[in-house]
Structure 1
């Protein structure tokens, strides 16, 4: 069975008082989800707005990913294919065991 679809996303970034907030909206055509993320500048760090944008966006996307996984696992249970018990743990993929530099 072949299946093709398009999901639309919008990412909104807001910065105020050394805090960056991000809202990610996902429209699948059948449902809409919103992820949120925040990054705060440490008072002792250099102010580089791009870093706050990246970190807050990453956190918002992680939040959205968690929502998608919960929906998918709920749907799996609904069709009789229960997910593994630890399937909501963060996925490291090819990064597992890689050192952060």
Structure 2
């Protein structure tokens, strides 16, 4: 069985007073999820807005991904399947650094 879907992800970033907030929206066509993330510039650091954007966006997407995994686990349990093992280390980075 072949199936093709298109899920849309939108990302909004707002920067104000050294703080960047991000909201990521996932629309699957049948449901929506919203992830949130933020970043702030340490007053002692040089203000590089792109870094705040990347951090806040990455955190919002990570939040969104965690919600999606929790939903998949709930649905798997509902049909009697086992769940995906939980990862104990960081969810990103080089594999050698995580082990």
TM-score (normalised: structure 2): 0.89
- Asked if residue 21 in structure 1 is aligned to residue 21 in structure 2, the reply is yes
Using the alignment, how far apart are the partners of 1:61 and 1:32 within structure 2? 14
Q: CA RMSD in A?
A: 1.8
Aligned to 1:96: 95
CA deviation profile, 1:30-71 (whole Å, cap 9, x unmatched): 100000000000011101000000000000000000000000
Residue segments in structure 2 that go unaligned for 5+ positions in a row: none
Moved over 2 A (4+): 86-92
Residue segments in structure 1 that go unaligned for 5+ positions in a row: none
Aligned to 2:54: 54
TM-score (normalised: structure 1): 0.87
The Cα of 1:82 is off from its aligned counterpart by 1.8
Using the alignment, how far apart are the partners of 1:88 and 1:81 within structure 2? 18
